[in-house]
Amino acid sequence: MAILVFFPTLRASRAVNRMRIMNSLILLQYVPRIYPIYRYCKNLNKKKLDNDISDPLESKTWFPGLLNFILYILASHVFGAFWYFFSIQRLIECWGYACQSGNGCEFRIFYCDDGTTRNVTLLNDLCPINPLNAKVFDFGIYLDALQSGMLGSTDFPQKVLQCFSWGVRNLSSFGSNLKTSMNAWETLFVVFISTSGLLLFIYLLGHLLVGDDALLFIFYICKMATNKEYWIRLKMWKIESDIERMSDEYGLSNASGDIHKIVRRRLRREEDLAVENIFSILPLKVQDIIKRHLFFDKLKTVPTLQDIHQNVLDAILKDLEQAMYDGGNCIIREGEPLDMMIFISRGRVLTYNTTSTGHGGGESGLSNTTGPWLTGGDFYGQELIRWAATSTSFSNWPISNNTLKSHKKVEVFAIRASALLLIVSKYKKYFKTETQSPYPTDYTVIEIN
């Protein structure tokens, strides 16, 4: 009511100072609301300890939790309101910065009662919101409020709901997802959110559990948080399905248990180990075993390597490097030098090339011709082996006649041209000198049996 009476339009040059006063009013108005709840909760807790509860409602186990929930709702609303007003102040701060950078700009042009017509297009350049340019001006945690258009909206219920939602989400997560700018007040605001969320959580424990039960529960939470084995089990539970799927696709279902043990031992040694790519965290010896299982028989089907010595195949397997591609990424491009030979282990790869559509004297054009899909067990780029067998330096590279693009997520194992040159130089006696063109213009697809 005070805001509606004293600040109906926020006009004139004192608007910024009035906004700061409003921030204080928001906080002060909740003091007489929260204090009675706090006193009541304190007396209720004392009655529980003394077993002196006569009111049937107060004896309910859910009643203290309800009171704490009310405090949580109020705190979320307060933090959301502060976030809203701080967003406005941050935007005005940027306007002031932009005005100082412009010639002939006066800050009064931003007041609602100023009728002066000025060119303020520099605000879009020096206060970029969508898209954000943090190098020019970083809005930090207030960017969502600015990009959503909430500040300029006249839908009051929508504003309240959005601010309340922001407060609930960040208070419940202790502000862990908030990325601040270099502004000191903004950083302190986030710290205050984090500590308030933690205190409300502890306060909830203190009312749901009293005496020894509360101490035991807090001790159990602290023990879990500091128990290394607990976090290892949690990580293993998250990646268990990934290990099973990888084992099945590799044809190593019987070895999934051994892979579990290896990953668990690695996690014990390195707590911060990234587990998104299971293969990459396996020991090199285990990686070599898996690569041999996947590709040894496939290498022997490559025409250039059909009668080659096993040492050459082992050297190629050892130099195979894993690579992951998200959906829609180009692995190899048509018309570019072919610098690696790939073996697909998981996923599907689309192949296509560009052909001319000209006929006689008519207009000519280009069209894409789709080739066969490459799936697990197929390879591409065998001409690179022929090139390595006939070349002594990085010259006369073979050119790819096709573009390879991943469909969804794809895992490939690739050997680079530099590695092939080293292998050929080491095992030169096993390679026959080719008299024909060192690399063909097509590629071979080997299907999984």
Digit-coded pLDDT (tens) for 385-410: 888 888 766 777 888 888 899 888 89
> Any idea of the CA torsion for 149, 150, 156, 161, to the nearest 10 degrees?
130
Is 50 exceeded by the pLDDT of residue 12? no
**Strand runs labelled E in 257-357:** 321-325, 330-332, 340-356
pLDDT band at 435 (very low <50, low <70, confident <90, very high): very low
Cα-flanking dihedrals φ and ψ of residue 220, to 5°? -65, -40
Which SS3 state, helix, strand or coil, does residue 168 take?
Answer: helix
What is the radius of gyration, based on Cα positions, of the chain? 33
Given pLDDT bands bounded at 50, 70 and 90, which one contains residue 446? Answer: very low
Lowest mean pLDDT among 176-185, 186-195, 286-295: 176-185
Q: How many angstroms separate the CA atoms of 80 and 72, rounded?
A: 12
Domain locations along the chain:
2-219, 228-282, 290-356+365-430
Q: Which has more pLDDT, 339 or 133?
A: 339
Q: In the predicted model, what is the mean pLDDT of residues 34-41?
A: 72
Predicted pLDDT of residue 434 = 44
pLDDT of 314 strictly over 80: yes
pLDDT at 31: 72
Task: Read off the tokens for 264.
Answer: 């668990």
The C-alpha atoms of residue 144 and residue 94 are separated, in whole angstroms, by 16
Q: Which of 256, 254, 343 is nearest to 298 (CA)?
A: 343
d(CA 158, CA 156): 5
- Measured at the alpha carbon of residue 232, what is the angle toward residues 226 and 234, in degrees to the nearest 5? 95
* First CA to last CA distance, the chain: 78
Check residue 337 and give its pLDDT: 87
pLDDT category at 9 given cuts 50, 70, 90 is low
Q: Which CATH architecture has domain 290-356+365-430?
A: Sandwich (2.60)
Q: Identify the DSSP state of 346.
A: E
DSSP string over 262-276: HHHHHHHH-TT---S
Question: What's the pLDDT at 414?
Answer: 92
pLDDT at 444: 39
What is the structure's pLDDT at 111? 58
Tokens of 240: 């268990």
pLDDT exceeds cutoff 60 at 211: no
Find the mean pLDDT for residues 406-432. 86
Cα angle 377, 311, 379; round to 5: 20
Q: Long-range pairs for 232-236 at CB < 8 Å and ≥24 separation? A: 232/264, 232/267, 232/268, 235/267, 235/275, 236/260, 236/263, 236/264, 236/267
pLDDT category at 447 given cuts 50, 70, 90 is very low
Residue 439 to residue 391: CA distance in whole angstroms: 11
Each residue's pLDDT tens digit, 39-56: 776 676 666 656 666 666
Predicted local distance difference test score (pLDDT) of residue 439: 41
Q: Which residue type occupies 118?
A: R
pLDDT per residue over 139-148, tens digit each? 888 888 888 8
Q: How far apart are CA 164 and CA 435, in angstroms?
A: 76
pLDDT-derived band of residue 14, with 50, 70 and 90 as boundaries?
A: low
The pLDDT of residue 148 is 83
| pLDDT 10s digits, 75-129 | 888 888 888 888 888 888 887 777 776 665 665 655 555 555 555 566 667 777 7
**61 contact partners, CB below 8 Å, separation of at least 6:** 208
Containing H/E element for 407?
A: strand 403-416
pLDDT at position 347 over 80:
yes
Task: With beta carbons less than 8 A apart as the criterion, state whether 202 and 174 touch.
Answer: no
SS3 (DSSP) at 245: helix
Tokens in use for 154?
A: 């006249």
Which residue did the predictor score with more confidence, 215 or 308?
A: 308
Q: Which range has the top average pLDDT, 80-89, 212-221, 229-238?
A: 80-89
Q: Could you tell me the two tokens for 344?
A: 């697909």
23: exposed, middle or buried (Cβ count in 10 Å: 0-12, 13-18, 19+)? middle
Residues 401-413 as b or e (16 or more Cβ within 10 Å = b): bbbbbbbeebbbb
SS3 337: strand
pLDDT at 261 over 70: yes
pLDDT tops 90 at residue 413: yes
Evaluate if residue 194 carries a pLDDT over 50: yes
- Band of the pLDDT at 227, cuts 50, 70, 90? low
Q: Which residues contact 369 (CB under 8 A, 6 or more apart)?
A: 352, 353, 354, 355
Percent of the chain at pLDDT > 70 equals 66
CA 296 from centroid of its chain's CA atoms: 36
The listed range with the strongest mean pLDDT (110-124, 142-156, 198-212) is 142-156
